[in-house]
Structure 1
Amino acid sequence: MTKPITNPDLFHLEIVREADHLKISLALQRRGEIQTVRQVEELFVPLDSIGRRSARLGETLNQANRHGRLTPELLARLKETGQLFRDELFSAKVKEQLNTRGIDHLILSLDDQLVHIPWELLHDGTRFMGQRFAMGRVIRTRHTILSPFARDIPTPMQMLVLADPAGELTAAYQEGLAIRDFAEGFKDKLNVFFRSGNVSEDFIKAKLRYFDLVHFAGHADYDPRRSSKSAWRLGQGRLSAEGIVKMAGTGRMPALIFANACQSARADHRRADRGGQTRIFNLANAFLLSGVKHYLGTIWEIPDDASKCFAMAFYRHLLGGLSVGMAVRTARQAVADILGEQNTIWASYLLYGDPTTAYFHAPATERAAENVGHEPAPALPEAVTVGTRAPEDVIRFSPAGGRKRRLCVAIAAVMVLCAALGTFLAAAWIGSGKRAADYEQQALASFQTGDYANAEQTCRYMQQSWPERAFSHLLLGNVHFLKGKFAEAGTFYRNAVAAPQGTVQDKTEALLGLGRIASEDGLADQALGYYRQAAAMSPRNESACIAEALLLNRRGDHHRALALLKEAAAVSSDPAALEALISQVQSRAELADDRQRLERIDRMIDDLLARMDSGPRTLPANTWSSRSLSIWLLPFTAVGYDLHEGRAELMTSGILYHLLQEQRLQMVEREMLDRLLSELKLGASRLSEPNTYLSLGRLVAARLIILGRLVHEPPQTQVTLRCIETETGQVVAVISDVVDGGNAVSQTAAGLAAALKARLAAYYPVRACIVEEKKDFLVLDIGQRQGAAVGMSLRGVNADLVVKVVAVEADRCTAKIQGVNTSAGVGLQLEAIP
């Protein structure tokens, strides 16, 4: 059975239409939590004008796809239209919530009268919603769900590839072959059946229910006047939406259908009938009502080569273990990276169904698909026009040509059957038993759960039976590295690189392992060499780019480090973690070019050193009112070994990034601290001593010091933060979390920062004193830097007085007295109401 991927944090956005109003609720569902109460907002929305604008947008993108790409002007207009949609359809509160970082999945629950709106193209000023989220649509309908029961998913799953079933579109046929060949690398997970040419409607209706996954590459005829007549075009007849609905209730439909055809998921703007129900079925609606759990299709015309590129990227990531929604999002990004953002193919695809569902996991068997030289999709040359699957753009082959091709296909099929028979007889002669890939899967499963003894035992057996395969050497290298046995690990890694049989991923990881050993031994030049070899072998490997960038950054080569980090961010599975690090490295690169700022820091260092022996700082006379919370985040210390270069730096920059979003928290300049430590010749060991860091904290006017610690206990890494007050040495907060395979660094950093901010808010409540009276208004001695915010309410201490902040400056704010009272007076103490 399929299941959600480790219960990810996700947004659940529910939108229902009532006349010209929308009822909207947005819930953030954290891992393992169930929200029992949701707030609903009601908005008046000009739905008719939105419907017309959606239709015009579709025509614009259809024209762009026929020409291959949008002009820069049209792309800018598309973003503007997406922002306009977002402003009209979402309230300010919903927009603010959707900006929450670290949440990647979004379930969009829609009224069936709202499916025509291009929700995936709503734009937040930075990205389209379909790029920001791994999202899937779930439709609320008054129609009867004709097949409500889930399909039992076997192992291996059964997949049907229908490639050019009408026998008239060469590009679709080639796409089907490419998908079949790629999927056959996962035979322990997937059995692939390929059909092309003269496919009939009766064949589809009779055989479709036997399959768990179906890929259709061909023509879809879209009828804007009668959506129920929209259909897949076949060699004999058509499979229409009406016909699909009739299939429901007799056996269970496939779990996932990918209809890679023009407008295969399009729904027009239509008024509902008086009963509030649209009796029109489009293709997507028909499949969903008949019991299909996931339907992936397009809402516009799609270019042939670009659609193949998307499909290959989608299956590569789906079979690699990503959720359906994340596979779609990653495929969108891959196509945009290869073809450019102005090629709109990435915007054409819609997913219906729960985006968190994962049909596959990523054990070692699935590495077999990543052979040396294999790429998910070729980069396409610049072209003025490209072919699309719109009927008017297709060259129809003559009947003779079709017979000739079918004859070739038949001959090829006979040859394949003969080869398969030979393989079967050879296997029978050799005898039964596990394949190498089965042992690799077993060893990887043991390694991922921390059972290193079993992983090592399995790998030793594989080395005796299949010494030419790289994987066992790689895994033994990882086991020995994590145990701190670098010499043995290095030998295994070198054997993996030299092995005659090995995937690009295996050999790349072995080079990264050699780089980690060199880095741990302090051999930075050698480590850089290995990381560059890894990047050359696998240019789109984010780990290689990140590792090289971090070493360059430590050396002070911030500009080259920044370029590499941006490359990694384009293909990263955790872009939020890199976003924070990129911001930090960019700041350092700018500082290196800013002589005036460097001189200012030098003067500050000289001043601090001069004051080192001047005794303790004098505390402010007013100890009641809040002060800004200046924080020094020390470099993390680590216990144990980590296969990933620089996880501590990624964690530090991520936490720092989220803390800086709080106005009251101010960070001591990292550049100044680095230069101060260098001037004082303090290494990491001295810096970890309490007397040292507390003295330095007071010296740089840091009110709080945060100590971070990583304890690597594979397969997990525990992260702990200790927040200490420099003036008293008192521990204010201790917070910890765990990073594992299902928990990204950015998510952990965001969670730790949020917990720390909540603890600091409770420990240091916002407090103020009245410094001036102005009729119904009061001036308080705190401002934005001390935590004051418009709308904040404060209560008088031992006084019947409540005030509400109405205006805020940097260090002052104005508050209005609530109700009638005579308790206000200069010097009165106030405290924020939680």
Structure 2
Amino acid sequence: MKGDKYITIYKKGDVHIVDMLQKHVLTLKSEIHVDRKFIIDICQEIQKITLMANRMLYEKVSADAQSDIVNNLKNTGEVIFRHLFPEDIQKALKESDESDLYLRLDEKLLHIPWELCFDGEEFISLKFRMGRQVLTESKTIASMNRLHKENMSMLIIIDPSETLKHAQKEAELLSSILENETDIKIELIGGRHANKLHLLKEMKDKGIVHFIGHSFYDENHPEKSGWILKDGFLTSEEMSRMDRPPLIVFSNSCQSVATASCEAYLFDEKSFGVGGGFMIAGVKNFIGPIWVIHDESSVKFAADFYSAFVNGKTLGQSLQEAKRNAIKKNGLSNILWASYMLYGDPSIKIAAEEELQNNTKITYPQSIASDDPKRFTLHLKTFSFMLLVSIILVLGYLFWINWFSKNDKYSFFHDPENLSLVQLYNYAYKIYNSGKNKKAAKLFEELTLDDNNQLGLGYDGLADIFFEEGNLEKAQEILKESFTKNPDNMMSHIIYGDILFTEGKMDKALTEYYQAIEITDALDWQRAKADNALGIGLFANGKAEKARDYFQKALLIEPENTDALFNLGALSWRAGKKDEALSYFKKVTDLNPSEELGHFYMGIINNRSEADEGRNSAKKTLMLPLSFDGGYLTRMGSGEAIAWMIGEKLKGVSNLKIIKSSSLNAETELMKIGFSKLSDSITAINLGKLAKADYVIYGSYRIFENTVEADIRAVNVRTTEIITIEHLKTHGKKKINDLAQILAKRISSKIEQ
């Protein structure tokens, strides 16, 4: 079938009303019932595939692993195609020739990755020139409809946060591509001069706006999402109030078109994100990525797009060509190509080349007010690279260029001028690690007020303290401010990953850890901490060998890192390599004689802490490993050790016969279930029955730098009666020993009543 196609999808409860219109062809209209949980499963599966693909940027993966990513993407795309489009529309799309495809979507359906639909042979975003259009009740503002010769102006916004390494390279590439286009009037604005006021003024009436920088997506308050500036945000909500907005916005920043989470689908909520603010403002065409992307690849993608667009191809054709080029260079498994999407009209194009006039000149403003950004306007026919560099220097980018371009090895942390600031930062963390949270908080706050603190040090420490106190909302609020000051604060990414892990968002947490290890300007202890956290995250995701690799990387950076040594010991112990495990735990205890968990594991390995085989008449009590419920991802195996310690304390204060999970015949079953599910009551009771126990004790724990907290239950296996529920939080150097002692006394008193 030939001709442009229009697919309209409305949501009414659990029913999608879908119709398809083609020129000179009758409209196909159908209804399809869609299970709400199914949509969430689709989105979560795409997130997993994205995470797998992003790992390829940091790890060498086999050809089989790359093939798995492609097959998984195709299989998931085919499920979307078969289950979210009615059969008649599936047939029409499969039999159609390449054309423009307008996807007119209910505002509650924006989070579904329609572009990844796979018809069995092709992804529809590669077959068709796709453009999304939003069916919304939100009031929008009128904007220009076409790129006329007289308004061919383009604004390039260059890294307002002054932290993006590849921003200058992207600006240079775009300039070299556009310099032969005689009627494109280019304006450059960037760095600290690109503040909120000037951006809102300069975007007005522009034909094209290209943004190179960082976006921030606030899942809880999407309207507060936006572009990261030097000292704040330009939010979607503020963008929606623009007057006479640009016709085209290309936001080359991560998560530019991210929308509300898939859970919003359950409640029929609108799912506008960063791009939504522009659309409500009247921007008719918005291009951006839906998830985190790799800087160097995104630069090439933008260059390919503009190469096609300025040479007469439509928006849809240009985006399609850039996607195909990305696949040709990197393969389907590098899913950068799938990230970019267009909200708007794929048929929009610049006036034909023969209509353009060949007069070329460079123009400068007559005067510049003192409160205006340092910028200039020029035609690029005779523009040269040296002139661009000179002008950028005039704009105030001297420090930025020296930092990221002329000296890639520059480190803020190792610059002698920053010595006192870095010493204060390290001291603040030393105080925090010693348990003096209030004093540490004052030091971290002092750091945030220092004018020379260009990396935003201190915000991470404050967020860490609030996280440990259980105030996740305040911690995330501070992290948002931290990313505003410096999107490449390694500790902030690690802490945010820990918070996401605590919230049960494992895939998103791993993404944060991967972003952390890519950051180069960091202290050794931070880099080791990032590798260690990623290792634990990978272990929790079933990747034990990859976890080992990252623990060893942490040791290469910091040979006396007790967390990495402990984790290697725990891995060896799980693999049955007792001697190897013992050597790691001995190193841990040698480095830190007051180490609680290391000493206990050594006791287990040396058979000094076994199940109580005496007391045949005593009640048999199964002590299960505690499930990790959040906190710091620093140590694996803590749940087993804490449970064993509670068991040992119970033996000392009661007549109970304690059975450890390690002595169970049901150990194989236990490993199949996985330690993360041991806080489930049904699982625990079933294991108690397998062990022929009278009681089972189970629960979960959270562990931080200075505190540990646990939720414990003791249940009568035969009657399933809950004997006691205990919640306890302890502090200090002996926090785990104290926790085990107090819980043992409480539990024994309730069981033996």
The TM-score with structure 2 as length reference comes to 0.45
Between structure 1 and structure 2, the one with the greater Rg is: 1
TM-score by length of 1: 0.41
